[in-house]
Structure 1
């Protein structure tokens, strides 16, 4: 989710030295352009851990019971046991592949008929996709990483897998029920260098198409700040993300429907580090 293109590793000092020591002939210009193109096609790995404070809103159905889903993040946080979120991207600045995942585990205990009922819920969402830079506008100047400032538009396509798993223990017995589905999606990414340090990234995709869910929508936007961290080019990011899924299938009873018509939305903070 949090991405930036590889920087060009040629320093401005080296360029100035070459220009002052000899005439910058057409042949030298061609050599410089060739070196720059070669640098821009080097593959890089970008690792982006993040935290998404998502609330849930919508409706659901299980075993013939319909319920409204309205869970603010503060309530989820009270029962949060484990969370892992992150994005890994491999890109040469023109083409790229990415993997994005979130795993959240919550637990809670309730009382019923003088007995304690335990409920553990695990939610996992994994996405994998590819993109390419289809159109780029030069804004002039460079970023602090030595890359020309641009606005780039990148079509993307991939698949998103979702699993909901519930472990229920009561009256001395326990059971596990789960549902999972896979959604293909298509979308568009936009990456804009606002200044030499500030960056805006936005992405939106739509999927499902009745292959997995009826429809799924993912939209996110982040404002980023470029800096070095541990000697690596890094972008600190903060923004907002929405994931909406409308999925329906037979539930574990075989006679009723499981439905998950829910949007997850909330602020996101994280960073992207290039290796």
Structure 2
């Protein structure tokens, strides 16, 4: 089947990934780097950290879906016009030494385009679920305490996990409808860093690499946030602002004709949110 280049299709495909950028449940990439390492609670006690955020992501790369090849070049402002629903977030359970986290993201977009006097409708749904674990291998006290009454520290935590991605697209044109979908699971390994800069300010960063030809060829996630300690609703809270990059290079096994699927796209942009301890 002859491949066609349709930039509008690309923008729509991109929107589903961008929706991966507006959150309601909390990190991984969304990820585990968004959360503080439970230094707000007594050492050894199990705590839950919830970190909602909004990711203003732009998309850049190449994609192929159902025989269509297209460049993906979508600034965040363009995705808002066609965004139907976006739910995202991360929940972390930790005792200060080790912990686990779950990240969920769901995005739905829709768009109509004109092509050769025909209206093309494209609905896209993208779901990403990530589960990971981490362990604190290094911690150094920096002197003084945070406003939560815990020592200021610098810590490093290796992390390992799985990230599942599913992309679904419904295309309608001239009374003809077709649906295509693809999903893949990427193992990943990485590091998390937490540094208490002062009694109120801290820095959290995370980077992981995955895929390894198990799911995608390669995936890279990197994010860093500056946080400010305060209280919200009587709960210890860290307000955060930073930047995140997520790159995925996936190609289906049946890479021909109407079954052709490829997602070689980078999502990047600023993030704002908060981490609240319960």
* Fold shared per TM-score above 0.5: yes
Note closer, same or farther for the CA distance 1:62–1:91 as it changes in structure 2 (3 Å cut).
same
Secondary structure at the counterpart of residue 196 of structure 1: coil
Query: 1:24-173 residue pairs with structure 2 within 5 A?
Result: 39-173=42-176
1:230 Cα deviation from its structure 2 partner: 0.2
Cross-structure match for 1:207: 210
C-alpha separation in 2, matches of 1:245 and 1:208: 8
Secondary structure at the counterpart of residue 40 of structure 1: coil
1:252 Cα deviation from its structure 2 partner: 8.5
1:222 Cα deviation from its structure 2 partner: 0.4
TM-score of the aligned structures, taking structure 2 as reference length: 0.84
2:214 is the alignment partner of 1:182: no
Kindly indicate whether the alpha-carbon contact (under 8 Å) linking 1:48 and 1:271 is maintained by their aligned counterparts in 2: yes
Q: Which runs of 5+ in 1 are unaligned?
A: 10-38
C-alpha separation in 1, matches of 2:168 and 2:149: 46
2:36 is the alignment partner of 1:4: yes
Q: Which runs of 5+ in 2 are unaligned?
A: 1-26, 28-33
1:169 Cα deviation from its structure 2 partner: 2.3
Larger radius of gyration: 1
TM-score of the aligned structures, taking structure 1 as reference length: 0.85
1:63 Cα deviation from its structure 2 partner: 4.0
Root mean square deviation, CA, Å? 1.7
Moved more, 163-172 or 222-231: 163-172
